[in-house]
Chain A
Amino acid sequence: MNRKVGIVSMGYHGFSPVTPDLSFRELVYAAASKAYAKAGIGPGDVDMFICAAEDFCEGYSISDEYCNDQLGAVLKPVHTVSGEYLQAIANAAMIIQSGLGKIVVVESHSKASNIKNMEAIHSFGLDPVFNRSLRVTPHFAAGLEMSRYMTESKATEEHCARIVVKNRTNALSNPNAGHGAIISVADVLASDPVAWPVSRLSIAPRSDGCIVTVLAEESVARSLASEPVWILGTGWATESSTLENRAWGEPVSVDIAAQMAYKEAGITVPSQQIDLFEVDDTYSFKELQALEGLHVVGRGQAAHALDEGRLGPDGDLPTNVSGGSLGVGHLLEATGGQKLLELFLQLTYQAGERQIPDVQVGLAQAWRGVPTTTSAVIIVGNE
């Protein structure tokens, strides 16, 4: 129905808890120059550029005006998606599918280490009248969601803690991950109860980094890359922006975004047609909830899949093999970019010791964090 869109290359810098040597512009330049070098192009060959960024995280307003020079996008069409990396990827795919551009670049970065009080940014994201005025940690929204999710599913606090253990262990096999560690379920459960049942170690720590993706229309992609990774489906959705009006335990936006992407990709049985999953794990329970929203397992059944070892690197539903955000570090709006990067590396057999054999199709899903209900899904394949 549409033109085929391929990922030609991905360049990245990071991902580590601090980057004291580079400004955010230099961080972007480092990633972009690698992406262009791998694609064998210069920024002059690019038709359009898209950035995903959020002003408060950047430390100034109109941050969209500050994204072009370090990408080589001066005097070029460029726009910012005030949203998740995967939403920017969907925008790039639409531009190429519509014939508006043949080569499109997507960029997003995190210089989270420059933010001195992240809680304040999240608090500013809350409704000032009804929610911010409670004057408590913005993680309360995740605490409410997790408590409800545990009631509606078979998941316990221990299951969620095991997600942390799994992902931080997976991160030990990812040289780009900033937070790999051997920890125990007891460590997670005993960490500060920030917003019970959410504990300190069940919240993804942050990392700095930048990811730049070069996408192209099929014939260009084939000429630039020997093994492009193809975009098979994209989807995104947002629930009510009113906290009070949402279904606290249900991954509604994940479900809608997934259905949109599955329809485009022709996926009817995700657990059999998709080989690996990089899903949101900003909070440990989110990974379990996401797999249910994605219909990879039945509603309430993700904990059971974890019990059976299906979510590990050797399982039949390998999830967050990269280490996820819990192991790599949360990258603000670039988080979905890291998830897509893992799929790209796996599908091009560049994932080193964590390479999953015989991979053809992967799914990335990201969420914009509290207090949002926005999710995006991208499905990619190497055939």
Chain B
Amino acid sequence: MSFLEKHQRNVDLTAFDGKIPVHYRYTLGLAGDKFFTAIKKDGKFVGTHCEECDVIYSPPSVYCERCFASLEDSWVELPSTGTVVAFTVVTEDDQGKELDCPQVIAAIQLDGADNTFVHRICDCCIEDLAIGAHVQAVFKPKKERKGTLDDIEYFEIAAE
């Protein structure tokens, strides 16, 4: 059963390092393209509306995951405000290295939307932040916007 011979001295153990260097190009798709173009050009959020389910998706999808309807022609505009549904304070980057300073990430339900948008919350708001807080998006200046998630600097507590 199993092995009779085993390594008994750890200096006999050998291994070598390696990596998988692969590169990709990610397509935004119809929905992503429209979403990020609206942010880049107009500083606005757009979403798609499924009439059948009465659900608004922002971030959008050109199909409804609930009823499978095509939502390609049912675009709506949304305000740049929303409600914090959940939030977390992260201290590490995507490789597990410590960040210079902690960052707040929140799931934000844009006003009018039924799903959530995940983005940063400004550090300055951390004291007042709670689930249920009303927040608004702070966009980068138009000429710095590139059509990516970073076109939104962060969300901050909304001035009521």
Nearest-neighbour CB distance to chain B for A209, whole angstroms, equals: 14
Interface residues of A in 90-145 (CB under 8 A from B): 114, 116-120, 123, 128-140, 142-145
* Range of interface residues on A (Cβ < 8 Å): 35 or more
In the complex, A137 Cα to B92 Cα: how many Å? 5
Nearest-neighbour CB distance to chain B for A239, whole angstroms, equals: 10
B145 in the interface, Cβ–Cβ < 8 Å? no
In the complex, A76 Cα to B148 Cα: how many Å? 48
Of A59, A60, A134, A192, the residue contacting B91 (CB under 8 A) is A192
Closest B residue to A245 using CB positions:
B115
Is there contact, CB below 8 Å, between B15 and A20? yes
Interface residues of A in 248-302 (CB under 8 A from B): 248-249
Nearest-neighbour CB distance to chain A for B24, whole angstroms, equals: 8
In the complex, A193 Cα to B99 Cα: how many Å? 12
Is there contact, CB below 8 Å, between B59 and A138? no
Complex interface: stretch among B3-11, B37-45, B69-77, B135-143: B3-11
Is there contact, CB below 8 Å, between A138 and B94? yes
A133 contacts across to B, CB distance below 8 A: 148-150
Nearest-neighbour CB distance to chain B for A52, whole angstroms, equals: 21
A128 contacts across to B, CB distance below 8 A: 24, 26
Is there contact, CB below 8 Å, between B87 and A144? yes
In the complex, A192 Cα to B89 Cα: how many Å? 11
Interface residues of A in 29-55 (CB under 8 A from B): 29-30, 33-34, 37
Query: Knowing A21-B13, A244-B115 touch, does A119 contact B87 (C-beta < 8 A)?
Result: no
Query: Knowing A30-B2, A133-B148, A136-B92 touch, does A145 contact B86 (C-beta < 8 A)?
Result: yes
In the complex, A26 Cα to B99 Cα: how many Å? 39
Nearest-neighbour CB distance to chain B for A124, whole angstroms, equals: 9
Of B1, B90, B106, B119, the residue contacting A195 (CB under 8 A) is B90
A118 contacts across to B, CB distance below 8 A: 96
Query: Knowing A133-B149, A134-B105, A244-B116 touch, does A143 contact B6 (C-beta < 8 A)?
Result: no
Is there contact, CB below 8 Å, between B118 and A120? no
B21 in the interface, Cβ–Cβ < 8 Å? no
A225 in the interface, Cβ–Cβ < 8 Å? no
Is there contact, CB below 8 Å, between B65 and A34? no
In the complex, A134 Cα to B149 Cα: how many Å? 8
Is there contact, CB below 8 Å, between B10 and A195? no
Closest A residue to B94 using CB positions:
A123
A183 contacts across to B, CB distance below 8 A: none
A350 in the interface, Cβ–Cβ < 8 Å? no
Q: Mark B49-80, 1 if CB is under 8 A from A, else 0.
A: 00000000101010001000000000000000
In the complex, A348 Cα to B65 Cα: how many Å? 44
Closest B residue to A26 using CB positions:
B3
In the complex, A146 Cα to B92 Cα: how many Å? 17
B101 contacts across to A, CB distance below 8 A: none
Extra inter-chain contacts (19) besides given A123-B95, A129-B28, A144-B87, CB under 8 Å: A29-B2, A59-B18, A116-B17, A117-B95, A128-B24, A130-B118, A133-B148, A134-B105, A136-B94, A140-B90, A143-B88, A143-B89, A148-B107, A193-B102, A196-B89, A242-B59, A243-B118, A244-B107, A244-B117
